[in-house]
Amino acid sequence: MKKNYKLALILSGSIALASCTKQETLDYNVEKPGIIAAQEQIDAYNPLKTYIDKQARPGFKFGTAVSLNDYVSKGLMYRLANSNFDEITIGYEMKHGAVVQANGDLSLKSIEQLIAAAKAAGMSIYGHTLAWHSNQNATYLNKLIAPVVTASTGPTWDLVTGADFETDSAPNYETSSRVVKSFTAAGEGFNGVGRAIKLTNASVLPNDYDAQFFLKFSPAVAVGEKYELSMKIRSDANASFSTQAHTAPGQYKFYDFFGTLSSTPVWTTYTKEITVTADMAASGAIAFNLGKTATNFYFDNITLKKYNATGGVTMVEKTAEQKKTLVTAAMDTWIKGMVTATKDYVKVWNVVNEPMDDAKPSELKTGAGRKVAADEFYWQDYMGKDYAVKAFQLARQYGNATDIHFINDYNLEYDLAKCRGLIDYVAYIEKNGAKVDGIGTQMHINSNSDKSKIDEMFRLLAATGKLIKVSELDMGIAGKKTPVITSAEYAEQKEMYRYVIEKYFEIIPKAQQYGICIWSPLDSPTNSSWRAGEPIGLWSEGFVRKPAYVGVADALSKK
C-alpha cells in the first residue's frame, strides 16, 4: 500500500488577499514515489540469518566473505556481517602468501586478532585456504627448489642444456615432421611428478631416422671433450632406438652419438658418457631415431653435461625427487603452523582450492605452458597428483579429529565436465588414503546463467553423499557495470539469487547442507580486482539493501 505525503502551502496576504493578515494551511495529498516505497519494503525485512529455520537446518551455516582488517576494525562491515551471517570467510589474509614470510616462518598475529574478534561476536570462521596455486609466497617456495650454486677448484660436470618439459617453451628441442609432439598431464612425468614430453610415431617407417626428436645445445662439441647424457624414458611398447650426431637438427654428421637406448612401459633411467671423436666434432644436436617402432615415446628430465677438469662456479639443478621432498616439507610446515595455531576455534577448512584444469577438466591444473604470476606456485607440479592427498592428511594430522575438510572449485555449474572431474578427483584422494568431508562449489555466476546446468550440478554433487557448500556465491548482471543497470535487471538478479538458494535446499539433502557463503555482500567498486564495478552484492557500495536482499531472504525462509 502506497502512502501519501501531506504538503503545507502557506499563503501570505501579499500573494492572495492583500487585506487579510490571517495565514491558512491547505492540505495536498501527494503519492509517495515508487522507488521510495519499494526501498521501504526492502528495509522492512529482518536481518538475513533470522530467516533460517535452525530447527529444520541445525547445522546450516549462512556466511559471507570479508577482509580481516574490515572485520577486526569493527566498523560497518563488522556490524553487517554479525547481524546477517553466522560464518565468515577471510578473502586473503589466511592464505600462504599473507602468512608465510621470506624465511618460511609464519606471521600469525593478525590471525589471532581475527579469532578474538570472531569469538567475541559468536561468529564462526571458515578456514580459507591451505593448498592453492595462487596467493602463495612463491618467492620463498621457488627459492627452496632453485639450483645450487657452488664453486669448485676440482673437476666438475657442468650443465650444457636440459629439459624437464614443465613449460611449452621449446628453445632446445624439436621434432621432425612425422613425429607428433604433445605433453602428458601433470603428475604423469617420471615418478609421478610434473609432466613428460610425449612423442608419437604412428607407424613403422622404412628407416629409423624417418622420425626424429632433436635435443639442441651450444657450443658444438670438440674432439677430446667428455659429455654425459642422462634422461628418463619409457614407451607404450618395447622399443630400441639409436642416436645420431647432427651439426643442427636435420643436418646429419655421424651415425652414433650417445649409443642406443631401450625403453619399456616402465620408466627407466638412461645415462651415457662419451668422449668426442673427430666423426662427432662440430655437432650441436642429438637426434633420437624413433622410426622403427610404432608407439608413444615419453622423455623426461634430460640433462647434457660437459666435463670440466679445472672446475669453477657451477649451478647444480635439484632433481625432481629432491624438489618433491623440499616442497612436501614446505607444505607440512605451512599446514602444521596454520592449523595448529587456529584449531581451538577454526573447525572447518577449505583444504584444497581450485585443483581442476579449465581446458582439461578431468586433469589437474599445472603451471606448465602458462605465464605464471609472481604469487603462483603449483604444488602439484612438484608433488604430483597426490599433492591433495598429502594436504588432506596433514590437515587431519594437525587439526581436530572432528574438523570438516572441503575441496573447492569454480565453474562447476558452467562446465559439468569439470564438476565430474572434481568428483572423480575426490574419489582418487580417498582411494589413496585421505578423507574429504565436503565439496565446495563457488558459483560466481550471472543473473542469466543456465538454470538447467545449476540443477544438474547440484544433483551431481548431492550424489556424492558429501557435505555440499555454495562457497563463494556472487552474481553479476550480464557483465554490465552498476551505473547502467535497470530496475528490471535488478529484479532478474533477485530472482536468480532466490532460485539458486531454493534449488540448493530442494536438491541437496538436508544432511548434506553445510551452508552458503555470499562472497561479495556489497557491489564491487570500480577499482576492485574482483568483478570491478559490477553490481554483484546484496547491498550497494553505500550499504543500501538491494532487491537481491529480498530474493535471498525469501529463499532462506523456505522450509
Mean pLDDT, residues 211-237: 97
In this structure, what C-alpha cell is assigned to residue 176?
621432425
The pLDDT of residue 506 is 98
The pLDDT of residue 445 is 98
Q: Give the pLDDT confidence of 298-336 residue by residue, as tens digits.
A: 999 999 999 998 887 777 888 888 999 999 999 999 999
CB-neighbour burial class of residue 177 (10 A; exposed 0-12, middle 13-18, buried 19+): exposed
d(CA 409, CA 472): 10
Among 160-174, 400-414, 447-461, 536-550, the least confident range: 160-174
The pLDDT of residue 29 is 62
CB-neighbour burial class of residue 345 (10 A; exposed 0-12, middle 13-18, buried 19+): middle
E strands, 317-416, are 348-353, 404-409
Asked if residues 422 and 468 have their Cβ atoms less than 8 Å apart, the reply is no
Task: Tell me the three-class secondary structure of 296-311, residue by residue.
Answer: EEEEEEEEEEEEECCC
Strands 348-353 and 404-409: parallel
Mean pLDDT, residues 90-114: 97
Q: What backbone torsions phi and psi does residue 315 show, to the nearest 5 degrees?
A: -105, 120
- Domain boundaries in the chain? 4-32, 39-131+333-350+389-556, 150-316
Q: In terms of pLDDT, which residue wins out, 300 or 12? A: 300
- pLDDT higher than threshold 60 for residue 6: no
Among 184-188, 272-276, 344-348, 514-518, the least confident range: 184-188
Mean pLDDT, residues 239-247: 97
3-state DSSP assignment of residue 216: strand
Task: Give the dihedral sign, CA 301/306/309/313.
Answer: negative
The pLDDT of residue 24 is 52
- pLDDT higher than threshold 70 for residue 7: no
Query: What is the distance in angstroms between the CA of the first residue and the CA of the last residue of the chain?
Result: 28
- Dihedral over alpha carbons 388, 391, 396, 402 (to 10 degrees): -60
Mean pLDDT, residues 96-105: 97
Confidence band (pLDDT; 50, 70, 90) for 8? very low
Superfamily classification of domain 150-316? Galactose-binding domain-like (2.60.120.260)
Asked if residues 543 and 42 have their Cβ atoms less than 8 Å apart, the reply is no
Taking CA atoms, 464 is separated from 272, 426, 540, in Å, by 51, 9, 37
3-state DSSP assignment of residue 145: coil
Mean pLDDT across the chain, nearest whole number?
92
Which option is the CATH number for 39-131+333-350+389-556: 3.40.50.1100, 3.20.20.80, 3.40.50.10320, 3.90.230.10?
Answer: 3.20.20.80
d(CA 183, CA 198): 5
Q: Give the pLDDT confidence of 340-369 residue by residue, as tens digits.
A: 999 999 999 999 999 999 999 999 999 987
Confidence band (pLDDT; 50, 70, 90) for 16? very low
Distance, C-alpha 469 to centroid of its chain: 17
Q: What is the DSSP string of 403-416?
A: -EEEEEES-TTT-H
Mean pLDDT, residues 87-94: 97
Taking alpha carbons only, the member of 466, 442, 368, 406 closest to residue 133 is: 368
Asked if residues 449 and 496 have their Cβ atoms less than 8 Å apart, the reply is yes
Q: What backbone torsions phi and psi does residue 495 show, to the nearest 5 degrees?
A: -65, -40
Asked if residues 508 and 500 have their Cβ atoms less than 8 Å apart, the reply is no
Mean pLDDT, residues 461-485: 96
- pLDDT higher than threshold 60 for residue 85: yes
* Helical spans, DSSP H, in 88-158: 96-99, 109-121, 138-144
